[in-house]
Amino acid sequence: MPGFNTLRVPKKYQDGSLAFLCRERQSFDSRLRCSRSYISHSSLVLFVFPFVYQSTCCFLQSPRPQIFNMKFSSSVVAAAALTGASAHTIMTNLVSNGVVNGVGVGIRVPSYDGPITDVSTSDIACNGGPNPTTPSNVVIDVKAGSTVQTYWRHTLTSTSSDVIDSSHKGPVMAYMKKVTDAKTDTGIGGGWFKISQDGYDSSSKLWAVDKLISNGGVQSITIPSCIANGQYLLRGEIIALHAASSTNGAQFYMECAQINVTGGTGSVSPATVSLPGAYKSTDPGILFNLYVSPISYTIPGPSVFSCSGGGGVTTPPATTPTTPATTAPPPQQTSTTPPTTGTGSPLYGQCGGTGWTGPTTCASGTCKATNEWYSQCLP
Ligand SMILES: [Cu+2]
């Protein structure tokens, strides 16, 4: 059963993870075997070496010491699979208005913490498939304009010191979708808009996942003040890029929380995208080699919706929101027309980023960099 018979000296990476060069014994697709079947999500084929060694590099996160000088056998493969399981993550809790709701309260948490890797499946919306989710009959009240927190944990019983393996570098995002009944809506299909994202910060050289880990797994998400009241799905998402240089190698972790928004002005109707649909396996932020520097990363999906323009469609005040527009907002890197006022950007307006020629000050709030292409006035 094992496809590898030689373990060479492990190569140690900065984050403490190790790569082994393993000689292939049998003529099968070693890449598939290594990355999917046996070692599951914990492994990775590095394309840096194959032309030198003609071998497969199995990448193990937090490998156990006893693996080091052993040959691959079925037991070692099992140990490696266990190691891999320690790498995944789940959005377990939602904190709203300072109230910490319990694990799985108002969130459809999965029974397994593994990723979705095929962006074309309906599981990309609210998880499922290989990770069956548990329904919740709770809908959590959230005030428009407030900042909620979600907790990310390795498993449903992990603490804040066990968020996700540090090898799982990548962006952290949040989306919303207006629904009639948050308890039963599958989330599959149109209606999604992105409300926050964080990717790679080239000045600090930190990924959003790095910050999430040092933050104890707390993701802060500001709920737009201008959206309509009512029930929504709030979808937190992490993309782990450690194996993303091969197709369907990126690992998507997402959960959907069930919320009821109050206090929204309903003045802007966001442009929306579909899940599945918003991502393609070949998107530059999804088919991505994490190990090439300097790192330049484009967060996949639509641009972030903001109440002051960008990713939104203004709704006439007297009218109730109609069917949201289905066209995707323009890519984030594209500069939008800057506001004509000279007093700085309004709250939630853009105030910086590569290619931005508009105001770099805020009429209201503080200018904070979301990524190198986008800074936003936040309260
Ligand atoms: Cu994982």
| Domain positions in the chain | 90-275, 349-378
Residue 339, CB-side half-sphere exposure with 13 Å CA sphere: 21
Minimum mean pLDDT range among 25-29, 114-118, 137-141, 370-374: 25-29
Q: Which two tokens stand for residue 157?
A: 């019983």
Instruction: For residue 77, report the phi and psi dihedrals to the nearest 5 degrees.
Output: -60, -40
CA of 251 to the centre of ligand 1 (A): 7
CA of 348 to the centre of ligand 1 (A): 33
Residue 104 CA to residue 148 CA, distance in Å, equals 16
> Residues of 202-236 as b/e, b for ≥16 C-beta within 10 angstroms?
eeeebbbbbebbebebebebbbbbbbbebbbbbbb
- Compute how many other C-beta atoms are within 10 angstroms of the C-beta atom of residue 369: 15
The percentage of the chain sitting over the pLDDT mark of 70, rounded to a whole number, equals 67
SS3 217: coil
Let me know: does 47 contact 35? Beta carbons within 8 Å. no
Minimum mean pLDDT range among 8-12, 42-46, 116-120: 42-46
Strands (E), 127-240: 140-143, 147-153, 172-178, 189-198, 200-201, 206-207, 218-222, 230-240
Q: Which two tokens stand for residue 285?
A: 């932020």
Let me know: does 144 contact 305? Beta carbons within 8 Å. no
Q: What is the pLDDT of residues 162-195, one digit of tens each?
A: 999 999 999 999 999 999 999 999 999 999 999 9
Res. 101: pLDDT tops 50: yes
CA of 240 to the centre of ligand 1 (A): 8
Q: What is the pLDDT of residues 218-233, one digit of tens each?
A: 999 999 999 999 999 9
Residue 70 CA to residue 237 CA, distance in Å, equals 37
Reported confidence tier of residue 364, pLDDT bands at 50, 70, 90:
confident
CA of 243 to the centre of ligand 1 (A): 10
Closest C-alpha to 145, from 269, 304, 316, 262: 262
CA of 367 to the centre of ligand 1 (A): 34
Closest C-alpha to 222, from 204, 196, 242, 247: 196
List C-alpha distances in Å: 379 to 220, 238, 332, 349, 361.
13, 24, 21, 11, 13
CA of 280 to the centre of ligand 1 (A): 20
pLDDT of residue 373: 65
CATH code: domain 90-275 is 2.70.50.70
CA of 184 to the centre of ligand 1 (A): 28
CA of 290 to the centre of ligand 1 (A): 15
Q: What is the pTM of this model?
A: 0.65
23 versus 203: the higher-pLDDT residue is 203
Reported confidence tier of residue 103, pLDDT bands at 50, 70, 90:
very high
Let me know: does 305 contact 221? Beta carbons within 8 Å. no
Res. 280: pLDDT tops 80: yes
pLDDT of residue 286: 98
